[in-house]
Structure 1
Amino acid sequence: MSRHTPAPPLDVERYFPEVAPLRRQTVRLHPRAGSPTWRESSVGGPLLWPAEEAWPACPEHHASPMVPVVQIYAADALGLVPFPPGCDLLQVLWCPRDHGGRWVVPAVHWRDAEAVGNVHEAPPAPVPVGSGRVPKPCVVHPELVTEYPSWDLQYGLWDTLEPRFEQVEAETGWDYQYHLSTAPGTKLSGYPGWCQDPDWPDCSGCGKAMDHLLTVESSEADSLSRLTWTPVEDRGADYEGADLRLGDLGGVYLFECRTCPGRPYADRFDCA
């Protein structure tokens, strides 16, 4: 079943025209518990991994195999993420064990799906692992939505808009940060789903700020943001997602440099 985020309850750009130039699109993945196959995009599902290619291990725990987190075929990126030439598959894994303050250690792989012959079965998840760091297999329902900066709104602009934010909330009940700005949940591109102050990494090669590739969050939305961001099909319904518990219901954010060779990447994490 497709998922459709309802239209915003307010015309954001009419109430806050200053954020119009900052609008971005994101692909909400809407992971829902299921039985995806190698040939499908998924969260926590099996990866189309070549049998002749060694399964990746944690660089810190060495013998610990990484676990599948996200697999996205180019068609399900809805034209928003530029895939490297010759590639149509994005695969993200991570080590779910403790890493001295880091929740996970991720790895990003791009590949040509048609070039994969025999498929490598994923090894069992390492033990012990951090609670809630191995996603349950989920099918995804990609949806392109528009969003605006929340934590990424510059301080000066936030100070300018804050009185209007408060006035609009008092008049309508809708809060800019929770109800109108950045889409929550696991998603591609757009704005990271920060719970705290932004921490954008710079590329160590060219020194430029990296692009946001992927947000993996503990839940689709919290008690406040779900009022406007819950898909129409899920209103009033119980559903099971990836069952992640990243810190205090926070998220992991992956960034990449799209100009340097090899598309270097970096990760960040925070919690509510």
Structure 2
Amino acid sequence: MTRRTPPRPVDVEALFPELRPLRREAVRLHPRAGRPSFRDSSVGGPLLWPADEPWPVCDAEHYERNSDTPYEGEVCLVPVVQVHRTDAPGLPFPPECDLLQVLWCPYDHGSPRCPLPQVHWRSAGSVKDVRETPVPHAEASEYYVPDPCAVHPERVVEYPGWDLPEDLSDMLGARLDRLERETGWHYQYHLAEAPGIKLGGYPSWTQEPVWPECGWCERRMDHLLTVSSWEYDGATWRTWLPVEDRATIGDGEPWSSEQARAAQNPAGLMLGDTGGVYVFECRSCSERPVAHWFDCS
């Protein structure tokens, strides 16, 4: 089944033409519980990983969730996202690559405490024999190990919420307030950035933005991936809950049924207090170095 975000309830660019230069496209992955194979795009599914390539392990200091005691054992990284280029229209893949794989260590790292992601790009056709995806570490937090999900990629248009420039926010403030009074549509919740697990576009920040700079060229990095705890919440569901899920859930509260909960948190993640991990890369450098950030409510 496909997943389609409802049309915007208002024409954002007609009402606020100042936002037109800031529009970006994102690919919402819409994960839903499934049994993906290693050949499929997925969230939390097995990876198309070459048998002759070692499975990545975490070599950083890591802690069990909500603990200050370092965990000393070796930990295999767990799959988070695998996406073929055909399922991510508009995302700039490196030359000769058509598969994105993101894994992370399912333990806490650094400050703020969060999983530590790795990004791998490869050519799917070059993988002949496939290594079996390891079973997640027994002591890893279940909230950091995504349940296997099929994905239903959808390209959507976004506008900056937290990333709205201050001068533009001041200029549009009165008009945005009037729109909310007259229609009930809140710009940041209902019209700006898509929630959930997505590629490209704007990060679905929970707090103020923290954009990392590349350690090589010192330019601001590009947003690659947001991994959010939830597909929607009590504020965002009104415009971002897909049409197909609305038909299943019915007219009740968007979290009041088993079907609603399955759509809200299909991967079973809980990153802090319904937060998100944001993965960035520098596309100005040929090595495409990676950084990440985490926030929560």
| TM-score higher than 0.5 | yes
User: 1:3-35, CA deviations, whole angstroms, 9 ceiling, x for partnerless residues?
Assistant: 110101111112222111111110000000000
Secondary structure class of the residue paired with 2:143? coil
CA distance in 2, matches of 1:207, 1:150: 24
* Amino acid corresponding to residue 95 of structure 1 in structure 2: C
* Amino acid corresponding to residue 102 of structure 2 in structure 1: V
Task: Say which is worse superposed, 236-245 or 212-221, in terms of deviation.
Answer: 236-245
Question: 1:127 offset after TM fit, Å?
Answer: 3.5
Secondary structure class of the residue paired with 1:96? strand
* Equivalence map 1:1-272=2 (5 Å): 1-60=1-60, 63-78=74-89, 80-101=90-111, 102-235=113-246, 236-237=248-249, 238=259, 240=262, 241-272=266-297
Moved over 6 A (4+): none
Question: 1:131 offset after TM fit, Å?
Answer: 4.5
User: 1:180-234, CA deviations, whole angstroms, 9 ceiling, x for partnerless residues?
Assistant: 1111111010001101111011111111111111111111111111100011000
User: 1:38-80, CA deviations, whole angstroms, 9 ceiling, x for partnerless residues?
Assistant: 11100000000011111000121561000000000010011x1
User: 1:102-132, CA deviations, whole angstroms, 9 ceiling, x for partnerless residues?
Assistant: 2111110011111111111122212422351
User: Cα RMSD over matched residues?
Assistant: 1.2
The answer as to whether partners of 1:212 and 1:255 remain within 8 angstroms in 2 is yes
Instruction: Give the unaligned 5+ runs of structure 2.
Output: 62-72, 250-258
The answer as to whether partners of 1:97 and 1:128 remain within 8 angstroms in 2 is no
CA distance in 2, matches of 1:154, 1:259: 23
Secondary structure class of the residue paired with 2:225? strand
The answer as to whether partners of 1:67 and 1:93 remain within 8 angstroms in 2 is yes
* Amino acid corresponding to residue 96 of structure 2 in structure 1: G
Question: 1:100 offset after TM fit, Å?
Answer: 4.2
Aligned residue pairs: how many?
271
CA distance in 2, matches of 1:243, 1:41: 18
Question: 1:149 offset after TM fit, Å?
Answer: 0.3
* Amino acid corresponding to residue 269 of structure 2 in structure 1: L
Secondary structure class of the residue paired with 1:204? coil
* Amino acid corresponding to residue 59 of structure 1 in structure 2: D
